[in-house]
Amino acid sequence: MATKRRKSRPTQISRIIDRGALSVGARTKQTKNYIYLLFHWKKIVGERNLRIMAPLAIKKSTLVVAVPNSMVKHNVFPTLPLLLSKIHAQGEEFSSISFIRLQVQAAVFPKKRKKRVEEDKTLSEPSEEELGFRTTELIKEGISEELAPHLARLFYFAEIRKTQ
C-alpha cells in the first residue's frame, strides 16, 4: 500500500496571501504562486537586483522576469541557475517553475530624471585690469605672451570656484 504524502501546514502569511489572492480573483495555482513570488522577491534577488529585475508572470513552468535593457539582460543571464535555485529554496509553491525567461521591458522601471544643471550666474567676467595684472604675472614667470591671457582667465575662474 502506498503511503500518503503529508501536506505541510500553511503558515499565517500563506493563508493571508491565499485570502487576498481569492479576493482579487486569483483562482489558478499559477496566479497564487505569482503572488507568493512577489511576496518573496526581495529575499530571492536581493536589494541591489530588486531595482533591475521584476517578475512579470508565471506562464506554465516559466517565470518571465522583466529587465530594463539588453545590457542588464546580458549580465543577468549567467546567474539564472542560481536565481532558479533560490526560488526553489523558498518553498514547495515554486517547485513548478523550471525555467526563467528574461524580457526587456523598460516601461516597468521608472526612469531616473536628470536634474537640469542651471548656469552658475555668480561667475562674472574678470575686469580688464584683473586680466592685465594676471597676464603680466604669468609672462614674468616665463609663459608666452600668446598663452598668458588664456591662462590668466582660467586661473581667475578657478579661484572663484574655490571660494564658492
The tens digit of pLDDT for each residue in 105-158 reads 887 777 766 665 555 555 677 788 888 888 888 888 888 888 888 888 888 887
CB-CB contact of 18 with 32 (8 Å) = yes
Please identify which residue in the block is written with the cell numbers 526587456.
104
pLDDT of the residue at 73: 93
Class of domain 12-108: alpha beta
Sequence spans of domains, the chain:
12-108, 128-163
Q: What is the pTM for the complete model shown? A: 0.54
pLDDT of the residue at 114: 64
The three cell numbers of residue 42 are 526581495
For 61, the 3-state DSSP assignment is coil
DSSP 65: E
Q: Determine the Cα–Cα distance for residues 52 and 10; give it in Å rounded to an integer.
A: 31
The tens digit of pLDDT for each residue in 51-104 reads 889 888 888 889 999 999 999 999 999 999 999 999 999 888 788 889 999 999
CB-CB contact of 33 with 93 (8 Å) = yes
φ/ψ (deg, to 5) at 58: -115, 115
For 128, the 3-state DSSP assignment is helix
